[in-house]
Amino acid sequence: EAFAEKSPVVVISGAPGIKERLKDPLLHHKVREFDTQKKVFEQITVASTVLSDPQTAFQEIDRVLHAAVRFKRPVYIELPRDIIWQRGIPHHTPREVHESSDAVVLRASLAEAVARINAARKPVILADVEVHRFGLQRDLLALAERTNIPVAATILGKSVVAEHHPLYLGVYEGAMGREEVRRYVESSDCLLMPGFFMMDINLGIYTARLDPARSICVTSENLSIGHHNYEGVRLKDFLRGLVRSKLRRRAKPKLPRAKPAPPFTLADATRALTSQRLFQRLNAFLTVDTVVVADIGDCLFGAVDLSIHRGTEFLAAAYYASMGFAVPAAVGAQLANPRRRPLVLVGDGAFQMTGVELATAARNGCNPIVVVLNNDGFGTERHIHDGPYNDVAPWRFHRLPELLGTGRGWLVKTEGELDAALEEARRHTQSFCLIEVRLARLDRSPALDRLAKRLGARLRAAK
């Protein structure tokens, strides 16, 4: 997942000592050969090393860490246990590495891009997750505000710009997204796509209609303008080059706006909860100090319609789609930024994979609010292909705090119970809070419903 979604994780692994390997003994944790583990990690890292020589260890560490920062992907450092106490080269100074684009190619690519954008009638920026990974949110916003070009985000890049900004168009996700956003983006005659991942969920399970001939797609690894490919151009240099270029300023566009979500009203406190009403209530619950962490499935699809108050305050494994992401990710998110309280959205099946990491949250003083959507199994898969393999063991999720000896738990079945539990959880900041929400077995969010209906319409039209 870290490799696929470009997260710069550093894996440091202990290993048998160099001298221990001489007679090729069968040691615990050994698989086939002593270098097998490194070979496995080489497939899912951008750089790896075994620190077998104290004289080169510091340089190797520098090389591997630089690769993690440069490519925003995981790296692997293996440390044989018999060299831990050996001295490396004293007074080592890390070598500074300054990488930049090929100046000639950068100028040529910027010239073509500027000409296309200035000639366009309806340009749109479709921003994805690499803008966040490489810290280019301010540059993206400067480009949009300088030109009045509207910005849409992908599902993986959701909240890469503040969602209350007047130039923000919404989340584009093909047939899964709002129809007015889909029409606006797909009718653009010049689509600038910084950091864009051409993957299935970003493309609305391949329901997107984006014309490469009208696109400028730039990532940390590639740049294509229409059908022209440019080598040796860095994402940062290209985006900042556009900000400094002679792009014309346009009149403010008239953007399609979703109807403002009405204030959540509790008309009937005894009414059974649905996904739609759950997400409406959660939307009213969010504050500027909330970071939303969504697991895969309908938790993610439903969360797309939430209005995030700050830039880059929405986290989800929307590419690799690894179930069980959300609870551990919330621990990392809060340790990285203790001023933000995570709101975790996770299904019952995904929670059973990694939910007990709430013990790690408690041990580290984290206080996430975890909402478990309990629809009696893997609900999203039931809509795709139902069967007994979508069933999970029935847990009493709300009683997990009793097992861990810390935290608060609630079981909610009605809108009134949800409202009361959320307000209590907001006030309880001493430990984590777990709210188990009971939903109907085949209940689904509006976003998943949109996808199902539009895919169905396409299939019927194709007959």
Residue 237, Cβ neighbours under 10 Å: how many? Answer: 19
Burial class of 73 by CB neighbour count within 10 A (0 to 12, 13 to 18, 19+): buried
CA 169 distance to own-chain centroid: 19
Q: 264-291 pLDDT, tens per residue? A: 788 889 999 999 999 999 999 999 999 9
Q: 401-421 pLDDT, tens per residue? A: 999 999 999 999 999 999 999
In the block, tokens 């299904």 appear at 347
Which H, E and C letters describe the chain, residue by residue? CHHHHCCCCEEEEEECCCHHHCCCCCCCCCECECCHHHHHHHCCCCEEEECCCCCCHHHHHHHHHHHHHHHCCCEEEEEEHHHCCCCCCCCCCCCCCCCCCCHHHHHHHHHHHHHHHHHCCCEEEEECCHHHHCCCHHHHHHHHHHHCCCEEECCCCCCCCCCCCCCEEEECCHHHCCHHHHHHHHCCCEEEEECCCCCCCCCCCCCCCCCHHHEEEECCCCEEECCEEECCCCHHHHHHHHHHCCCCCCCCCCCCCCCCCCCCCCCCCCCECCHHHHHHHHHHHCCCCEEEEECCCHHHHHHCCCCCCCCCCEEECCCCCCCCCHHHHHHHHHHHCCCCEEEEEEEHHHHHHHHHHHHHHHHCCCCCEEEEEECCCCHHHHHHCCCHHHCCCCCCHHHHHHHHCCCEEEEECEHHHHHHHHHHHHHCCCCCEEEEEECCCCCCCHHHHHHHHHHHHHHHHHC
- Residue 457 pLDDT greater than 70, yes or no: no
Give CA–CA dist 28/72, Å, rounded: 32
Q: Which amino acid, residue 3? A: F
Q: 454 pLDDT band (50/70/90 cuts)? A: low
Give CA–CA dist 201/173, Å, rounded: 7
For residues 303 and 314, the answer to whether their CB atoms sit within 8 Å is yes
Q: Which amino acid, residue 325? A: F
Q: Where in the chain is CATH 3.40.50.1220? A: 103-244
Nearest partner of 435 among 344, 311, 326, 324, judged by Cα: 344
Domain 2-83 of CATH type 3.40.50.970: yes
For residue 120, give every residue at least 6 positions away whose Cβ sits within 8 Å of its Cβ, in sequence order, or none: 188, 189, 190
Give the whole-number percent of the chain exceeding pLDDT 70. Answer: 96
Strongest mean pLDDT among 13-17, 213-217, 260-264: 213-217
| 6-20, 244-258, 270-284, 301-315: the lowest-pLDDT one | 301-315
Q: Which amino acid, residue 242? A: L
Give CA–CA dist 326/408, Å, rounded: 18
pTM of structure: 0.91
Give CA–CA dist 328/54, Å, rounded: 35
234: tokens are 């860095």
Q: 98 pLDDT band (50/70/90 cuts)? A: confident
The pLDDT of 367-395, averaged and rounded, is: 91
> What does each C-alpha distance from 339 to 5, 70, 236, 316 come to in angstroms?
25, 28, 28, 19
Q: Which fold has domain 103-244?
A: Rossmann fold (3.40.50)
The pLDDT of 47-59, averaged and rounded, is: 95
Strongest mean pLDDT among 24-28, 141-145, 439-443: 141-145
For residue 310, the model assigns a pLDDT of 74
Q: Where in the chain is CATH 3.40.50.970? A: 2-83, 275-446
In the block, tokens 């040691």 appear at 27
Pick the CATH number of 275-446 from 2.160.20.60, 3.40.50.970, 3.30.70.100, 3.40.50.20: 3.40.50.970
The pLDDT of 130-150, averaged and rounded, is: 96
Give the whole-number percent of the chain exceeding pLDDT 90. Answer: 75
As a whole number of Å, the CA-based R_g of the chain is 25
Higher-pLDDT residue of 451, 121: 121
CA angle in degrees (0–180, nearest 5) for 153-158-164: 80
For residues 191 and 185, the answer to whether their CB atoms sit within 8 Å is yes
- Residue 205 pLDDT greater than 90, yes or no: no
CA 163 distance to own-chain centroid: 16
194: tokens are 């910084």
The pLDDT of 87-106, averaged and rounded, is: 88
Q: 260 pLDDT band (50/70/90 cuts)? A: low
- Residue 261 pLDDT greater than 80, yes or no: no
